[in-house]
Amino acid sequence: MCEANAYFNSDGQEVLFMEAVDVIEPYEDGLKLVDIFGRQKFVKARIKDMTLLNHRIVLEETAGFKHDSD
């Protein structure tokens, strides 16, 4: 399985935001993430870097950062 974990980089520390992410797509001024169970999260962030072989996505907050989960 090739899902990845999404982290925020906060003050030099990486904080897990969402596990087992399958889908990432732009949504309004941020991103929509969907995990392998179909759970969605919307976040005002952009991709800072992503290494698929390491299953890692690092997100970076954009202006007006907040996140909501469904």
List contacts with a copy of itself (CB under 8 A): 1-4, 21-26, 36, 46-53, 55
Q: What sign results for the dihedral spanned by CA atoms 51, 13, 30, 67?
A: positive
State the minimum distance, in angstroms, from the CB of residue 15 to a copy of itself. Answer: 19
- Report the residue number, 3 or 61, with the smaller CB distance to a copy of itself: 3
Complex with a copy of itself: residue 48 or 66, whichever CB lies closer = 48
* Min separation Cβ 47 and a copy of itself, Å: 7
Take residue 68 and report the two structure tokens written for it. Answer: 């909501």
CB of 51 to a copy of itself, least distance (A): 5
H/E run at residue 69: strand 67-69
Backbone CA torsion sign across 47, 11, 61, 39: positive
